[in-house]
């Protein structure tokens, strides 16, 4: 059975106190909208429809950056969830299959939960995701009303009696239904309620009135967490981090001080890798089995191969590729650099727009001078090269295999295979000059102090 996702993402999010549309605020480096799309993507949907409104251009760009085939429909007036879903009707005209409604500000619905909802559709016309709360007095969610094991209606909190509000089973808002049936039901929704809005929740009662069946799939309340403020955004990010850290450890990663490590939504770390304290993973990082990321390192957009060691205090920027056994040490920064197996950049160096060959050793204080103020240029260093400390490699430049540079060299021309480059000013010692200069300066300072 084909599945279409309808993701509601039209709200402004006034409580966010931000010009950015609510669904574009980020958790672990990705907009909340992307988290919802990722969950739904596990169903292998035939269609993904995002209902945009406030900041529609930005929402469109974010959705299609994640999924270029995502379709965008507009809700120009925010008149309720039922009205929002109705905007997808033209896009789904003639679609044969199920539709599942998700929310761009609800990032934690698990793929397993969505799969359970689709499975329940085999026996029921409408499937609603619900959760139970222990303290009903503190929860202002809509309530799911059941009778004889069937879902009979959803009542919004504002419209509910005290008896209905006392029910522990709450509505998440997520609904699965045959797409054409859903659109037919949505078309019948009215706005005669306390809020004057078109509630998607009315589809259950409308379906029952047609003799259709409805049921509830239950999940933990944490899955249904909606994010409406910066405080809730922080709480959601903390939940993501806690969950991800636990999953990493369960998968065989050694995380030495989990609470200090920050993961992005797409971070991959292989088994037997070691992550020391205070490491930050930006977007697009893969760390293979057995690698070690030492304390206070920052990685983004990079690939670290087996048995490589990074840090402490290293920064790997986008485009960095470390082969097996590479060592990147303290206060080293790399960018758009391929560093081949066994090479070492142990300390205090910048390697950018470069290719470094196998087993090459980059001495302390080496800099690839890759930018001329307009263009970036590339440095190529062969295998088994020894780069002396404080070498400046002025790109574009190539150093052949088994070549070397003397300490303090500024390399402006290619170095052939096996050669050593020396390019520094000749040292000239001036007898007694330092003593005379300091005596003169101290006298000048004493005179100035006396005159003051």
Q: Residue 207: is it exposed, middle or buried by C-beta count within 10 angstroms (0-12/13-18/19+)?
A: buried
Asked if 205 and 156 count as a contact pair (C-beta separation under 8 A), the reply is: no
Asked if 267 and 247 count as a contact pair (C-beta separation under 8 A), the reply is: no
Crossing angle of helices 32-41/111-120, nearest 10°? 50
Per DSSP, the residues of 31-59 read: EHHHHHHHHHHTT--SEEEEEEBTBHHHH
CA-to-CA distance for 87 and 6, rounded, in angstroms? 10
Contacts 24+ apart (CB under 8 A), 347-352: 351/379, 352/317
Q: Which residue has the tokens 């270029």?
A: 68
Which two tokens mark 310? 């990074």
Asked if 85 and 173 count as a contact pair (C-beta separation under 8 A), the reply is: no
Is 265 a residue of the active site? no
From the list 116, 85, 105, 99, the residue with the least C-alpha distance to 23 is 105
* 83, 298, 347, 377: the active-site residue: 347
Which residues form the catalytic set?
347
């Amino acid at each position: 059975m084909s599945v279409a996702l309808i993701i509601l993402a039209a709200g402004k999010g006034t409580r966010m106190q931000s010009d950015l549309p609510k669904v574009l605020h980020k958790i672990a480096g990705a907009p909340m909208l992307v988290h919802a799309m990722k969950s739904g993507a596990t169903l292998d949907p035939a269609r993904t429809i995002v209902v945009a409104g406030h900041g529609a251009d930005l929402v469109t760009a974010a959705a299609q950056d994640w999924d270029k085939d995502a379709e965008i429909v507009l809700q120009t007036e925010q008149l309720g969830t039922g009205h929002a879903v109705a905007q997808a009707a033209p896009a789904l005209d003639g679609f044969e299959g199920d539709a599942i409604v998700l929310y761009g500000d609800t990032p934690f619905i698990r793929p397993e939960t969505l799969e359970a909802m689709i499975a329940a559709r085999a026996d029921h016309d409408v499937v609603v995701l619900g959760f139970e709360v222990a303290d009903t007095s503190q929860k202002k969610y809509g309530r799911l009303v059941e009778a004889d094991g069937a879902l009979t209606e959803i009542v919004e909190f504002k419209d509910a009696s005290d008896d209905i509000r006392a029910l522990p089973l709450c509505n998440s808002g997520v609904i699965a239904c045959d797409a054409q049936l859903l659109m037919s039901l949505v078309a019948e929704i009215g706005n005669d309620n306390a809020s004057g809005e078109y509630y998607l929740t009315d589809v259950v009662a409308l379906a029952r009135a047609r003799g259709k069946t409805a049921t509830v799939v239950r999940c933990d309340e944490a899955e249904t967490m909606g994010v409406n403020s910066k405080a809730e955004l922080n709480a959601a990010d903390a939940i993501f981090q806690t969950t991800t850290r636990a999953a990493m450890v369960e998968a065989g990663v050694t995380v030495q001080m989990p609470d200090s490590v920050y993961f992005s939504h797409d971070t991959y770390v292989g088994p037997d890798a070691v992550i020391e304290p205070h490491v930050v993973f930006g977007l697009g990082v893969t760390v293979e089995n057995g690698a070690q990321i030492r304390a206070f390192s920052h990685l983004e957009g990079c690939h670290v191969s087996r048995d490589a060691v990074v840090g402490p205090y290293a920064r790997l920027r986008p485009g960095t590729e470390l082969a097996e056994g590479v060592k990147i040490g303290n206060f080293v920064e790399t960018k758009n650099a391929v560093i081949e197996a066994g090479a070492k950049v142990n300390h205090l160096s910048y390697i950018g727009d470069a290719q470094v060959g196998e087993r090459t050793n980059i001495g302390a204080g080496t800099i690839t001078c890759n930018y001329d103020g307009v263009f970036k240029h590339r440095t190529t260093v062969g295998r088994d090269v020894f780069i002396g400390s404080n070498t400046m490699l002025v790109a574009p430049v190539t150093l052949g295999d088994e070549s070397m540079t003397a300490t303090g060299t500024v390399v402006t021309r290619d170095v052939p295979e096996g050669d050593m480059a020396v390019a520094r000013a000749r040292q000239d010692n001036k007898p007694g000059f330092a003593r005379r200069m300091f005596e003169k300066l101290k006298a000048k300072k004493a005179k100035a102090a006396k005159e003051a």
